[in-house]
Amino acid sequence: MLTIKKLPFNPLQENTYIVYNEHSECLIVDPGCYFENERNELKRFIDQNRLSPKYLLNTHGHFDHVFGDLFVFNTWGLKPHLHEAEKPVFERALTASLRWDMSFEPYTGDLIFLREYDTIRLGEDELTVLFTPGHSPGHISYYCKEQNFILSGDVLFRDSIGRTDLPGGDFNQLAESIRTRLYVLPDETIVYNGHGPETRIGYEKQHNPFVRE
């Protein structure tokens, strides 16, 4: 059984997730911790709950989602997992952040590439990788069928969608990802996204003004 802790970090209020099981194993998803107090908050939650981090998962490589990748690597030795098509975006994260006056020290080590339908296992629980490009060229989401939730990054928000005006963005591709990868999931599926509150697939199919079923 997986439990999800959301930590909104950095000036863009990006949602960092810690996903953990009853055996005290955890995943760190999109660590956006930018300030020292945010890095301390991430570590404190993991330490206080006596969690053992097993994976560092990135949905995509935009700077607000990878600010903490180096910290996670230095603290727990975890290398980032992401889609290979996202590597150029990941490598440009520092350059992009400077346009927002938010410099940071990026992770520059080895990357572990995931493909669609790969399985991330945490004890008895599984997350399936779904390829959901459009917000960025190699964006992926992590779906847990057994517990009806998806960690969708910046694909689908409550009553909104990820922006497509950044380099590599494509509205038609994003809409196709939503229709063929997310809207086919059960209506009760909870969407844990990269910014803002959670939503459900059924709600978005009925109410999202940008992508209709």
The 8 Å CB, 24+ separation contacts for 93-99 are 93/61, 93/62, 93/63, 93/66, 94/63, 96/62, 96/63, 97/63, 97/67
Q: How much is the pLDDT for 148?
A: 98
The mean predicted confidence, pLDDT, of the chain is 98
pTM above 0.85, yes or no: yes
Q: How much is the pLDDT for 60?
A: 98
Is residue 92's pLDDT more than 90?
A: yes
Is residue 185's pLDDT more than 80?
A: yes
Is residue 213's pLDDT more than 90?
A: no
Domains, the chain, ranges and CATH? 3-207 (3.60.15.10)
Q: How much is the pLDDT for 29?
A: 99
Is residue 44's pLDDT more than 90?
A: yes
Hey, is 176 helix, strand or coil?
helix
Where do the DSSP E strands lie in 30-96?
A: 52-57, 80-83
Which tokens go with 129? 């990788």
Q: How much is the pLDDT for 97?
A: 97
